Chain A
Amino acid sequence: MRILLLGGFLGSGKTSILLQLAKHIISKEGKSGSTTVMIIENEIGDVSVDDKLLISQGLAVRDLFSGCACCTSGGDLLMDIQKIKDEINPKWIIIEATGVAYPRQIKESIEMYFHIPVKILCVADAKRWKRLRRAMSQLIEAQLELADCILLNKVDLVSEEEADAVLADIRTFNENAVLHKTTGILPVDEAVWEAIV
Chain B
Amino acid sequence: MNSQSNKVTMNSKLHDEARVVSAKFELLCERPEVLKTLLNRLAAGMNTINLWADDCGVIIGHLKGYVTWNDEAVMLSTTGEEIQVKGLHNYPDAPCVLDVGLAAIVFGARQGEMEKQLEGLIATLFDALAARFSIEYESDHAHRHDHAHHHDHAHDGESEICTCGESGHNHGHEHG
Our verdict on whether A and B bind, yes or no, reads yes
A-side residues, CB < 8 A to B, are 9-11, 43-50, 52-53, 55-56, 68, 72, 99-100, 125, 128, 131-132, 135-136, 139
Residues of B within 8 A of A136 (CB): 17, 59, 107
Chain B positions near chain A (C-beta within 8 angstroms): 11, 13, 15-18, 20-24, 59-62, 64-66, 68, 71-73, 75, 77, 79-80, 86-87, 101-103, 105, 107-108
A136 to chain B, nearest CB (A): 7
What residues of A have a CB within 8 angstroms of the CB of B73 in the complex? 52-53, 55-56
B61 touches A9 (CB 8 A): yes
Q: Please, which residues of chain A bring their CB within 8 A of the CB of B22?
A: 45-47
CA distance A10 to B86 in the complex (A): 17
Contact of A44 among B17, B86, B101, B105 (CB under 8 A): B105
Q: A44-B13, A53-B73, A136-B107 are in contact. List 8 more A-B contacts (CB 8 A).
A: A44-B15, A44-B105, A45-B11, A46-B24, A48-B101, A49-B75, A56-B73, A99-B105
Q: Say yes or no: A135 contacts B24, CB within 8 Å.
A: no
Given contacts A49-B64, A53-B86, are A44 and B59 in contact (CB under 8 A)?
no
Q: How far is the CA of A128 from the CA of B53 in the complex (A)?
A: 15
A68 to chain B, nearest CB (A): 6
Bound: A11/B107 CA distance, A:
13
Of all chain A residues, the one with the shortest Cβ separation from B60 is A11
Q: State the 8 A-B residue pairs at the shortest beta-carbon distance, nearest first.
A: A11-B79, A10-B61, A47-B22, A45-B22, A47-B101, A52-B73, A49-B64, A11-B62
Smallest CB–CB gap between A117 and chain B, Å?
28
Closest chain B CB from A66 CB (angstroms): 8
Determine if B15 and A47 form an interchain contact, defined as CB atoms under 8 angstroms apart.
no
Chain B positions within 8 Å of A125 at CB level: 79
Question: Could you say which of A44, A47, A52, A56 contacts B23, with CB atoms under 8 Å apart?
Answer: A47
